[in-house]
Every structure is written in C-alpha cells, then in structure tokens.
C-alpha cells in the first residue's frame, strides 16, 4: 500500500483541512481564535460551558492513500470525520474536497457530495433493520433516484464483492456483526464514491473478525486504489492499514506522519508513551538501522530495498551471516548488520538521527 | 390564595424557619420561633444541631420541613381570614349563571349564527354523514358479508385462532338479537377511530419531528389520558347538543391522545446511528421520514392504533349518555331500570367486540408477518369473498340476522338475578350477603371517610395534597395538584368532590391491597403468572362501562357497586404493572441476596420492593386514575357525587350544573394524577 501512496504523493489532495475547529456549547463561535481558546478543557467548560472537540486541525488527504486518524475516545476523531461531510457542522476553519469549498456548500450541493463523492461506514453499522441486505445496499442508490432494476443489479455486485453472496434476502438482525459491517461497506461502495470514510468500523467486532475485515479493506484499497479516511483507537490497526497517521489528543493533532515516523520519531512524550509497546522491528525499515558502507561492503552481501522492515532484514542477516546492503535504484545507500538491527529493536537508534 | 400554600416558597422562608423549628424541638435555645434565626444562619454548631442536620440531609424530610415552615406562616393567616372547616364561601365563584346564559345563547343561536352554520354545522354534518354511510355499507353487506369479511380480515392479520374467535363473536352478537345495535356501534366506532388515528397521527408527527411541539404537547396528552371519560362529554354537548356527532367527537378527543403519544414516541425513538448513516448517504428530510423513521416506528404506530380502538370502544359505549345509539345505549337503558338481563345481552357483544378488535390489532402490531396467509392476491380475495357472502345472503333474502335464530337471555338472566337477590343478598350463613357487605362497606368505610374529608379544614386538605405530591414527585407536580384542588373549591364543588374523593381513596386502597396480594405470587411463580395472564388480558380489554352490569346484579344500586366496579376495573392494570416490576428486578441483585442467605420475605422487602419502586408508584398512579374514571361513571348506578351531577345535568338539560361538575372532575383527576405522579427521570438527548 505504501507503493500506491508513493505513486500518488504528488497529486492534489482530496481533502484539504485548514484550521478546523469544532466547539460544542453556547456561543461556540467565540472560542476559536479568542482568549477562551487558550483555556484548558475544564476551565473552558466552567467559563463558557463549551467543549472543544476539534482544536485547530489542519491536514491533507492525498489521492489514493489511507489516511488514519487515531486517538483515544474523546480525542475528537469521530467529530473530525463527521465534519468532513458536515454531518457535524464545523465551528470555524475550511474544508475543501478536490479544491471545492465544503463549508460554503448549500444543502443541495452537500447532498450531492454525500451521495456521490464521500461515503461513510459506521461503528454501529447504521443499517435499516426492516430491509433486506440487498435493499440496504441499494438504499443509497434508491435515494439518488436510480431505477429499481439498475440499483438491485449494482447492489448484487457489491454484495458479492464484500463476500456476502447468498445472503441477499436476509435482514440485518439475522447477520453476525462482521457480516453486518460488510453490508455497511457494500452500501458505502455502491455509490462508487471518491472517498470512503470509516468511523471506527471494526471496534464493535471480535478480534478475529476484525482482522478479517482489516484485510478486506486492505484488499479493496489495493485493488481499487480508493482514497480512505479511517478513524480508529487501535494503534496496531492504524499501523497495519495506514499510509499516514494523524494522532489526536484533546482535539489537537499531536503528530501526523507515516507509521515509521510515528513509531521511530515520536513528536512528544505522549506519542512516545503511546507507541512504547509497538514491535518496532515490524514497523521501522532498514533506513533507520543502516550505517554508511565501509570499504568493500558496497558490492558484497544480500541486496535489500530500503522499504524492508527491520524484522525482515534480521531474517536475511541471520540467514546469510553477513551484513546486507540497502539498495535504492541500483545504488547502495548503506549497510545493515547485527549491531544496527538490534539497536533498532532495543530502541537505541536515537530519534531521527539514523535516517541519514 | 392557593399559590401562597404552594411549596414553591422563596428559599429564605425555609432557611429562616427550619433551624428555629429544630432548636425548639431539640434544645433549650431560642423559644419564640418568630424572631429566632436570621435568614441565612447556617445550622448551629451545637450538639442539638446534629439530628437536625441529619434530618436536613434527607430530601423527604427537607421538603416536609420547608412545607411545615410555609404552613406555619400561612395557615394562621388563611384561617383568620376565611375560617377553617369547609371551603370558604368567600373564595368561590359561581359559574352556573354565566354558563347557563352561554348555554341559552348557544341554543338560541344554533340555527342561525354563522359559527354554527359554517363551522360546527359542517363538522356535525360531516360526522353524521360519515357514520350513516358506514352504517349503510354494513347493512348492505348484511350479517353474512360482515361476518365473513371480519373473519377473513382477522385471518389475514392475526391468524386462524383470532379468525375463529371473530366468526364466533359476530355469531353470538346475532344470536343475542343484538345485530343491529352492534352494527350501529361498529359504524360509530369506525368513523371515530379513523378520525382519531388521523388526528393522533398528525399531532404525533408534529411532536415527533419538532422538539418544541413535543414539549408543548406532552403534558397536555399526559393529562388528557389521566382524565375520566365523563369529563369529555359536557363540553361537546354544550356546543353540539345531544346526538351522534357529539358522541363521535367526544370519542375522538378521548381516543386520539394515545395515538398521538405513541406516534411521537415512535418517531423520536429512531436509532440515531441509523439516522446519521442515512444522512451520510445524502437522504433528504422527506426521504428520512418516509424510508426510515416511519417504517422503524411501525410497532408504535400499530400499538397506537390498537390503543385508539380500545379507547374509542370504551368511549363510544359511554357516549350513549349523550346520544350515541347502539350497544351502549341498550346497556344504559337497561341499567336505568335495573334490568340486568337486557344489560347483559347488550354487554356481551361489547366485550366480544373489544376482544376481537384488540386481538386483531395487537397481532398486527406484533411485527410477525407469519400469522395468516400472505401474498399479493390475499386482499382482493378477502374482498371478493366478502362480496360473495353478501350477495349470497341477499339472494336468500337474509340481509338482517334471521329473527328465529336469536336467543333471548334477558329473562333467564333476570331469573338468575332474582334468585341471587333472594339467596345471596343477605343471610348467607357465615359470610353474610352481598347487600350486607355493600352496607358495611358504605357504613363503616365510605361514610366515615367522607365525613372525615369533608370535616377536614380546607387548608389542611391543600397542605396534605401538597405534602404527598411533593414527596412523591417534584414541586411542579405538587403545585399543579394544589392549584387543581383549590380550583375545585373555587368552583363551589368542594363537598361533592370530597364525597367522590372518599370513594376513590377507599376503592384505591382495596385495589392496592388485592393487587399486591395477587401480584406478589404472580411475580414469584411462573405458574400463577401463566394462569393469571389470559384473565388479565380479557379484563384489561373490556370497556369500563360493562363492569357496571355484574356489580349491579350483585350489589344493587349505590356507592358500593360503583366501588366494586372500580376495583375490578383497576385491578388487572395494578396486578400487571406490579408483577412485571417485581419480576424485572435485576437478577444479579436477587442472586446476591440469595447468596447471602436472605429469606424470600427478606428478598421481597429488601430487594424487590425497593428496586421496583418506580413500577409500584406507577401502579398506584394507574390505580388512582382508573378507579376515578369508574367511580365517576358510577354516577349512573347510584354512586352520587360528581358523576351523578354530570348525569343529572345531561338528563335535565341543566348544562351549567353538568359543566361545573365536569370541570371539578377534571380538577380532581388532575390533583389525583399529580399527587401520585412519580418523578420521571428526564432523559437528555445525546448531543453528538
């Protein structure tokens, strides 16, 4: 997936969010940018009766990437994703989709945006209990005014795509949680949206089913290259599927970067604490472990691409018994040996210094 | 005046008086209560303040202290100004004069004033036309068409068992010679239910979609559901006179609130997650309503229809006092001559109609579509079969129920009743007789209670109501209760209302004792519950009016039969709510009590009763509301008091008396409901 992101890195952002605020409470609009903005959460609640859910957030979501917003409950991530299609009205700031101002849209334009360009998958599925699986999947097309035969055909295709073929006539109540979320996914896909928004889609599922669903999303992303914004509170989930991760705390984005940057170079103690238990060797790449090649080393030993994880490199080095070369575009950019690799595992690589 | 005794006193009075009262009771300090304790004195740090502080920490005691303080100031003032004893004459407003004049004006102008010609006249005309049209259709279908059509309808909606019940019920209606009255009641019902459902659904829609409308409407609907049916009769009679149109209108006013309420609740209960998901797909508000909110509220909507039908039947029968013909009229006529046999012949079809209508609509609301046959062709087939039956009967010249197929039960029932009068009324060895019981109940319970209530100083009654209502509910409910009670005094119906009140209190006490005695075993033993359930189901569906028939047979005429009918009417609801409340007690709490070795009595006292408190209070509230409604109707069988004044007003054309009594009934209903209304935990809507 990193490859997909890399290829699209130069393209214009799908979502461009600047200085976004969402404040709940009376006279919320006076908080952003004012004196009140400086107050802590408790003080603000006492002073103005307001709660800040999203605090001065800016980021871009690039074409074709999986952008993960991660944070603990109450960090404002679910509010943030709802602001993107104005399911929750932002207090201030700008949101643009393909350069088009979302905040300035009237009701009709907003509906068009929700119908065709950004579809959402919810934690608690939000299925219609009185409709069959097929009619649930077709619902988005139905409210767009698509004819019955056409929308059913399209829905059938989607049901098949998410692996629910044969269950078209069941009702949501008769399905397991994982199956229900597949219906939610199919419903979102049916409208063929430009962006998929996921709001903690797998938090309500059992661990094994969660893994299945993560692979499903991963597969969809690889096959179709669809842009995704993914909300989660689960760090391993974020690291597994995210091309880039924005880590939120108290409504603020504390760090935004690739999984490797988050794990390898935590921006502050909060992030460091957060990623402490992450198996570093599975996230970090050989870039962090390598040293400049000594004389003669540039031509011998196994060649590894720079995106290789440390864990994989350890395997190679142990197997061959010699240091391995890191080769980028036919040029050797460094060498990894026992010492460097173990240093990364032990966390002795230092923050951001090794990536020369 | 009444506001002065309200519990909403400024806090300063409370603070000033409470420590004073406490020190007078506990310590040798400041004797004269009047000049003790400045306004904001904190609880004194003396040893004597300890118990007081402990007392103050309990909300109930605090409320009582505040009330006692307010009373200590206001009661002497009120008593010196207007005296004690019954409601002071100086504080009454005689409304009979103006009301009589209004009534005369309406009668004089009914035929030519524009408001009657162009507004009320059209309403009345439309109702009469609609009822007549439905009646004509029912007659045209003939007994065969109606019976077959109803049977098939029940089959489609509710399955075979209900269909058989329906066929049998209509056959019995015919057999008893009550076919024509049944059809008249049915025609009136159909029109009234249709109107109630439309009106209720529209109101419910408005309240379901708009928070503000909901907040405005809810207390009104709640109150309307707590008022006795009789209270609705007088205003419509004032405007429309006696006849079918006011009967239908009163029925609609009585039956629409549950529909409105359930519609609103159903719409508001839509899963927020589903709504959000649908919005994220770009649905318009209209699409949200039509494809999500209404379908998801289906259960509540159908339950609303069911409730509206049951309320309408209940009221359509009672409305015979204001000119609705049909079964209710037959019962009314028969009861007025104590002809129990004829009353029973008309009462049985009412009960059967109630059961059939309830079972059919309840099954529709069940949500299980697998009851009867389904498929595209079923409805046309039902219609075709109905038409075929109707045509067949017409060809055989049997549109009306054949005369020689009827069975007159009036005479044998009356014989049986006479036998009962001879053998059960008195002198049964050991237990006495029903007439003796009635006499004892009246003489030993009702009379002393009534005399006590009437002898109670008026401010004492207000104070009592305030205390009770505040202890159970909030200061708001207490204020409403006190104001409503005071309004009765102002209307000049104090003594009569105290008579009604005494009947209500006595009957409620009996109901609660019996109800708890039945509910506790039912909650503990599934077998008792299984046995009880069908009985409760049947009793709960019967209109209040029919309960008067058996009690007149057993106890004759007077206040005791009215009380008996009230108890029987209210008992099923009390038993059901109580046993459900007891059974729903958190099994974890019960298990832990058992694991600690609590006896079943201890479990009941320490776990089940405290945890089921909301349900128990609700049972009391329902008992009060239901008993009041029947005690009022008891005016028809010699219950006297407010109910009788309404009946008297109707019978004598003295609408002023009836209207004032009706207003007093409303006030009494309001008082009783608010006094027993437990604080409802307000659910706050989750913002995001």
A268 min Cα distance to partner chain B (Å): 30
Residue A24 lies in a domain: yes
**What is the distance of C-alpha B623 from the center of its chain?**
9
- Are A250 and A206 in the same domain? yes
Which residue among A24, A128, A142 places its CB closest to the CB of B274?
A128
Q: What's the pLDDT tens digit per position in A180-210? A: 988 998 999 888 888 999 998 888 888 888 8
CATH of the domain at A258: 3.40.50.300
Q: Is the pLDDT of residue B665 over 80?
A: yes
CA distance A216 to A205: 14
Residue B8 confidence (pLDDT): 33
A355 is a domain residue: no
Contact A87 B276 (CB under 8 A): yes
The answer, yes or no, to whether residue B84 has pLDDT greater than 60, is: yes
| Residues, chain B | 688
Whose CA is closest to A121, among A212, A31, A214, A185? A185
Q: Does A148 lie in the same domain as A74?
A: yes
pLDDT at position B51 is 66
| Cα gap B266→A124, rounded to integer Å | 20
pLDDT tens sequence across B222-237: 778 777 777 788 788 8
DSSP B683: P
Which of the listed ranges A238-242, B10-14, B585-589 does the model predict with the highest average pLDDT?
Answer: A238-242
- Total Cβ atoms within 10 A of residue B459: 26
Task: Say yes or no to pLDDT of B77 above 80.
Answer: no
Which of the residue ranges A22-31, B83-92, B158-167 would you say has the lowest mean pLDDT?
A: B83-92
ipTM value: 0.80
Q: Specify the DSSP element, H or E, that contains B250.
A: helix B244-268
Set of chain B residues whose Cβ sits within 8 Å of the Cβ of A78: 688
B239: left (phi over 0), alpha (psi -120 to 50) or beta: alpha
Average confidence (pLDDT) over B450-458: 76
Q: What is the DSSP string of A183-242?
A: HHHHHHHHT--SEEEEESTTTTS-HHHHHHHHHHHHHHHHHH--EEEEEES-HHHHHHH-
Q: Which residue has the higher pLDDT, B134 or B17?
A: B134
Looking at the fold, whether A233 and A334 belong to one and the same domain comes out as no
Our count of domains for chain A comes to 2
The stretch A326-345 carries a mean pLDDT of 84
Around Cβ A342, how many Cβ atoms within 10 Å?
16
Report the residue from B278, B281, B296 with minimal CB separation from A130.
B296
Both A262 and A303 in one domain: the answer is no
Co-location of A232 and A304 in the same domain: no
Domain termination residue (choose one: A213, A246, A274): A274
Hey, which residues does A291 pair with through a beta bridge?
A335
Select the highest-mean-pLDDT range: A207-211, A299-303, B451-455, B614-618. A207-211
Residues A202 and A313 in one domain: no
Which pLDDT score, from 0 to 100, does residue B426 have?
Answer: 67
Percentage with pLDDT > 70 across chain B:
84
Q: With an 8 Å Cβ cutoff, is B287 touching chain A?
A: yes
How would residue B368 be classed by pLDDT, with cut points 50, 70 and 90? low
Which pTM does this prediction carry? Answer: 0.77
Q: Are residues A165 and A269 in the same domain?
A: yes
Enclosing domain of residue A304: 281-346
Are A36 and A95 part of one and the same domain?
yes
May I ask the CATH class of domain B101-402?
A: mainly alpha
User: How far away is chain B from the Cα of A121, in angstroms, using its nearest Cα?
Assistant: 8
**Does any domain span residue A72?**
yes
The residue that leads in pLDDT, B310 or B492, is B310
CA B495 vs CA B509, B568, B655: distances in Å:
21, 26, 20
Nearest to A24 among B276, B292, B688 (CB): B688
B chain contacts of residue A128, beta-carbon cutoff 8 Å: 274, 278, 291-292, 295-296
Q: Which of the 8 DSSP states describes residue B627?
A: H
The length of chain A in residues reads 356
- pLDDT at position B29 is 36
Find the helix or strand (DSSP H, E) in which B215 lies.
helix B211-226
Mean pLDDT score of chain B: 76
List the Cα angle B506/B512/B517 in 5-degree steps.
135
Is residue B185 within 8 Å of residue B328, measured between CB atoms? yes
Same domain, A185 and A292: no
Query: What are the boundaries of each domain within chain B?
Result: 101-402, 495-675
Please indicate, yes or no, if residue A30 is contained in any of the structural domains.
Answer: yes
Q: What is the mean pLDDT of residues B586-615?
A: 80
Q: For B318-339, what is each residue's pLDDT tens digit?
A: 888 887 788 888 888 887 777 7
| Residue B186 CB neighbour total at 10 angstroms | 24
Whether pLDDT at B11 is above 80 = no
Is there a common fold for B101-402 and B495-675? yes
Q: A288 with A264, same domain? A: no
Query: Which residue in chain A has the smallest CA separation from B292?
Result: A128
User: In which element (H, E) is residue A257 found?
Assistant: strand A252-257
State pLDDT tens for residues B143-178: 777 888 888 888 888 778 888 888 888 888 888 878
The mean-pLDDT minimum among B168-182, B400-414, B546-560 falls in: B400-414
The most confident of the ranges B55-64, B70-79, B255-264, B440-449 is: B255-264
**Which pLDDT does position A245 carry in this prediction?**
92
Average pLDDT over residues A79-108: 89
Of A211, A240, A274, which residue sits at a domain end? A274
For chain A, give the mean pLDDT: 84
A320 located within any domain? yes
Higher pLDDT, B671 or A112: A112
Instruction: Among A59-68, B401-410, B503-512, name the one with the lowest average pLDDT.
Output: B401-410
Q: Which residues of A touch B367 (CB under 8 A)?
A: none
Sheet holding A100-101, edge to edge: A51-62, A13-24, A92-97, A100-101
Q: Is B455 helix (H, G, I), strand (E, B) or coil?
A: helix
Q: Residue A336 sits in a domain of what CATH number?
A: 3.10.580.10
Contact B142, B393 (CB under 8 A): yes
- Right CATH number for B495-675 from 3.90.550.10, 1.10.540.10, 3.90.480.20, 1.10.3720.10? 1.10.3720.10
Regarding whether A286 and A269 lie in a shared domain, the answer is no
Q: What percent of chain B has pLDDT over 90?
A: 1
Is the pLDDT at B676 greater than 70, yes or no?
yes
Question: Strand A13-24 relative to strand A51-62: parallel, antiparallel, unpaired?
Answer: antiparallel
Residues in Cβ contact with B243 at an 8 Å cutoff, skipping those fewer than 6 apart? B124, B128, B322, B323
Of B281, B291, B298, the CB nearest to A115: B281
* pLDDT value of position B581: 82
Q: Is residue A354 part of a domain?
A: no
The answer to whether residues A102 and A20 touch, using CB atoms and an 8 Å cutoff, is no
Domain presence at residue A302: yes
Residues of B in contact with A23 (CB under 8 A): none
In terms of average pLDDT, the best of A201-210, A224-233, B132-141, B144-153 is A224-233
Residue A356 counted as domain residue: no
Q: Considering Cα of A87, then A91, then A93, then A94, what sign does the dihedral take?
A: positive
Looking at residue B569, its pLDDT comes to 87
* Statement to judge: residues A245 and A287 lie in one domain: no
Instruction: Give the per-residue pLDDT at B430.
Output: 65
Distance CA B283, CA B272 (A): 14
Q: Please give, rounded to a whole number of angstroms, the shortest distance from the CA of B681 to a CA of chain A.
A: 23
**Residue B30 in this model has a pLDDT that exceeds 70:** no
Whether residue B41 is predicted with pLDDT greater than 60 in this model: the reply is: no
Last residue of a domain, one of A243, A259, A274: A274
- Calculate ∠ Cα B223-B562-B641, nearest 5°: 70
């Amino acid at each position: 997936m990193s490859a997909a992101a890399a290829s699209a890195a130069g393209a214009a952002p799908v979502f461009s969010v600047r200085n976004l605020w969402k404040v709940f409470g009376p006279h919320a609009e006076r908080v952003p940018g004012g004196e009140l903005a400086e107050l802590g959460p408790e003080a603000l609640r006492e002073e103005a009766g307001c709660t800040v859910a999203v605090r001065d957030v800016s980021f871009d979501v690039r074409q074709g990437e999986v952008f993960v917003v991660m944070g603990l409950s109450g960090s404002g991530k679910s509010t943030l994703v709802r602001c993107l299609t104005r399911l929750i009205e932002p207090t201030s700031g700008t949101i643009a989709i393909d350069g088009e101002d979302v905040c300035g849209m009237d009701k009709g334009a907003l509906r068009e945006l929700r119908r065709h360009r950004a579809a959402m998958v919810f934690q608690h599925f939000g299925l219609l209990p009185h409709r069959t699986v097929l009619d649930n999947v077709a619902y988005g097309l139905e409210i767009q005014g698509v004819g019955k035969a056409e929308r059913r055909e399209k829905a059938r295709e989607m049901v098949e795509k998410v692996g629910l073929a044969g269950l078209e006539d069941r009702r949501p109540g008769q399905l397991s949680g994982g199956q229900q979320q597949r219906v939610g996914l199919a419903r979102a896909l049916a409208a063929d949206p430009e962006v998929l928004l996921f709001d903690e889609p797998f938090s309500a599922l059992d661990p094994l089913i969660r893994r299945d669903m993560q692979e499903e999303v991963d597969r969809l992303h690889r096959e179709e290259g669809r842009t995704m914004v993914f909300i989660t509170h689960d760090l391993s989930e974020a690291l597994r599927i995210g091309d880039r991760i924005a880590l939120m705390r108290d409504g603020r984005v504390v760090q935004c970067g690739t999984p490797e940057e988050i794990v390898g170079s935590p921006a502050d103690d909060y992030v460091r604490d957060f990623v402490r238990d992450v198996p570093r060797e599975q996230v970090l790449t050989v870039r962090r472990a390598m040293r400049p090649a000594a004389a003669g080393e540039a031509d011998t030993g196994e060649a590894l691409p720079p995106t290789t994880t440390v864990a994989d490199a350890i395997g190679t080095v142990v197997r061959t018994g010699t240091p391995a070369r890191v080769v980028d575009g036919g040029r050797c950019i460094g060498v990894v040996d026992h010492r460097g690799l173990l240093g990364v595992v032990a966390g002795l690589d230092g923050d951001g210094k090794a990536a020369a | 005046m009444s506001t002065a005794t309200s519990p909403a006193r400024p806090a300063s009075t409370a603070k000033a008086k409470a420590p004073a009262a406490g020190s007078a009771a506990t310590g040798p300090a400041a004797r004269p209560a009047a000049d003790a304790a400045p306004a904001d004195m904190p609880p004194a740090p003396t040893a004597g303040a300890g118990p007081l502080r402990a007392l103050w920490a309990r909300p109930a005691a605090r409320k009582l202290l505040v009330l006692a303080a307010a009373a200590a100031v206001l009661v002497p003032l009120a008593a010196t100004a207007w005296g004690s004893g019954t409601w002071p004459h100086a504080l009454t407003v005689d409304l009979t004069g103006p009301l009589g004049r209004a009534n005369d004006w309406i009668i004089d102008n009914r035929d030519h004033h524009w408001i009657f010609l162009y507004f009320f006249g059209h309403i009345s005309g439309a109702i009469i036309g609609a009822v007549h049209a439905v009646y004509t259709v029912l007659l045209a279908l003939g007994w065969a068409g109606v019976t077959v059509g109803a049977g098939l309808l029940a089959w489609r909606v509710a399955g075979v068992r209900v269909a058989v019940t329906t066929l049998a019920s209509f056959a019995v209606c015919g057999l008893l010679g009550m076919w024509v009255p049944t059809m008249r009641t049915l025609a009136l019902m159909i029109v009234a239910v249709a109107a109630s459902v439309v009106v209720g659904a529209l109101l419910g829609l408005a309240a379901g979609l708009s928070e503000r409308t909901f907040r405005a409407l809810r207390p009104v609907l709640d109150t309307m559901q707590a008022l006795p049916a009789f209270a609705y009769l007088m205003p419509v009679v004032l405007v429309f006179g006696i006849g079918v149109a006011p009967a239908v209108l009163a029925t609609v006013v009585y039956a629409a609130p549950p529909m409105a309420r359930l519609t609103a609740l159903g719409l508001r209960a839509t899963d927020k997650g589903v709504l959000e998901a649908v919005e994220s797909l770009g649905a318009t508000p209209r699409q949200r309503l039509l494809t999500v909110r209404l379908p998801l509220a289906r259960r509540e909507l159908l339950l609303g229809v069911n409730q509206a039908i049951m309320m309408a039947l209940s009221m359509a029968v009672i409305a015979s006092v204001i000119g609705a013909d049909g079964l209710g009229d037959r019962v009314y006529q028969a009861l007025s001559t104590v002809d129990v046999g004829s009353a029973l012949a008309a009462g049985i079809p009412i009960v059967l109609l109630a059961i059939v209508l309830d079972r059919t609509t309840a099954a529709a609301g069940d949500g299980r579509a697998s009851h009867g046959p389904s498929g595209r062709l079923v409805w046309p087939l039902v219609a075709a079969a109905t038409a075929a039956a109707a045509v067949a009967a017409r060809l055989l010249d049997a549109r009306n129920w054949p005369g020689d197929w009827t069975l007159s039960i009036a005479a044998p029932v009356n014989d049986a009743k006479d036998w009962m009068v001879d053998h059960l009324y008195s002198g049964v060895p050991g237990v006495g007789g029903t007439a003796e019981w009635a006499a004892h109940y009246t003489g030993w319970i009702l009379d002393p209670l009534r005399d006590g209530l009437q002898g109670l100083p008026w401010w004492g009654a207000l104070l009592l109501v305030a205390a009770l209502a505040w202890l159970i509910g909030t200061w708001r409910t207490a204020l409403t209760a006190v104001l409503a009670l005071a309004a009765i005094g102002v209307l000049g119906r104090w003594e009569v209302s105290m008579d009604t009140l005494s009947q209500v209190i006595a009957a409620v006490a009996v109901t609660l004792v019996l109800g708890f005695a039945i509910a506790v075993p039912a909650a503990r033993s599934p077998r008792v519950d299984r046995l009880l359930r069908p009985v409760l189901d049947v009793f709960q569906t019967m209109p209040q009016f029919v309960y008067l028939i058996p009690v007149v047979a057993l106890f004759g005429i007077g206040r005791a039969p009215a009380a008996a009918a009230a108890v029987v009417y209210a008992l099923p609801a009390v038993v059901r709510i109580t046993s459900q409340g007891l059974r729903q007690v958190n099994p974890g709490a019960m298990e832990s009590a058992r694991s600690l070795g609590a006896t079943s009595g201890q479990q009941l006292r320490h776990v089940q009763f405290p945890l089921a408190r909301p349900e128990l209070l609700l049972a009391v509230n329902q008992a009060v509301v239901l008993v009041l409604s029947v005690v009022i109707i008891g005016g028809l069988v010699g219950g006297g008091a407010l109910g009788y004044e309404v009946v008297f007003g109707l019978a004598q054309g003295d609408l002023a008396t009836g209207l004032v009594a009706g207003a007093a009934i409303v006030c009494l209903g309001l008082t009783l409901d608010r006094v027993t209304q437990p604080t409802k935990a307000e659910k706050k809507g989750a913002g995001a």
